Amino acid sequence: MRPGVVAVLVSASLLTLGAAPPGASSSPPLPARMADTGGGTQLITAVAPGTGSTTGTVTWWDRRGAGDGRWVRAGSAPARFGAGGLTDGATRVQGTNTTPTGLYDLPYAFGIRAAPRGTAYPYRPVRKDSWWCQDNASRAYNRWTEPRPADCRAAEAEHLVTYTAQYAHALVVGFNYHRPVRGRGAGIFLHVDGRGATAGCVSVPAEAMRRILRWAKPDERPHLAIGTEGGRTAITRY
């Protein structure tokens, strides 16, 4: 989804999700309170205060121990969401600049720059003819294409190499990816911050994105959960 829609101010303070304030009784970490974490031993959570928010927190977690081991926070960073806020991924409409809530796999990583040293995730380099098709009429809808096919209009596709900051490093989010529904949305990524809110993706500072790529291990089956602190799109419901 085209990034950099509108500028926003991001708070320098981070939410410490899953941790109790000093002196209070501890509560289970966020992943332990979720309905589903994807079945793996790594998880990324992206949480916004509410559906109208454009900022929040991304946290990445490891599950340690056999079976139902405990979840431990590996890192966190300020996050940006869509200029239109967040909405339930199952009913999202393309072109609304909203970030889809839900639990998604992460098919592969990509970037204009080389993969950070230590990256184990499949990493696809962005080239001059790399495009992401968002044309609902195209057979390549919600897919990376090289070059752009004739049935995918340039106005309805992202020329990936032109987003030098945002797509320096990124992870493809499995929203509407495996069985695409036309009109639901295309090109949802976890990527580097641009100048402001996104057009539906989740973004983090450049160093945080590099840390996530060095941390993520395909064998651990990491997923990305996107949601709000409460309400119908609460992250704990996914």
pLDDT at 5: 46
pLDDT at 4: 52
8 Å CB contact between 107 and 123: no
Q: Kindly state the greatest CA–CA separation across the chain.
A: 62
Backbone angles phi, psi at 174, to 5 degrees: -75, 20
Residue with tokens 């199952």: 90
**Beta strand segments in 49-137, E:** 55-64, 70-80, 86-88, 99-105, 109-111, 123-125, 131-133
CB under 8 Å to 191, separation ≥6 — which residues? Answer: 3, 166, 167, 169, 170, 171, 201, 202, 203, 209
Residue range 87-100, pLDDT digits in tens = 999 999 999 999 99
Residue with tokens 């340039």: 154
Q: State the average pLDDT over residues 187-201.
A: 98
User: Which token pair is 4?
Assistant: 């950099």
pLDDT at 178: 97
Strands 157-159 and 170-172: unpaired
Q: Which of 235, 190, 187 is nearest to 211 (CA)?
A: 190
* 26 band by pLDDT with thresholds 50, 70 and 90: confident
pLDDT at 3: 57
Backbone angles phi, psi at 86, to 5 degrees: -120, 155
CA distance 213 to 218: 11
C-beta atoms surrounding 24 within 10 Å = 8
Q: Does residue 18 have a pLDDT over 50?
A: no
Q: Higher pLDDT residue, 182 or 3?
A: 182
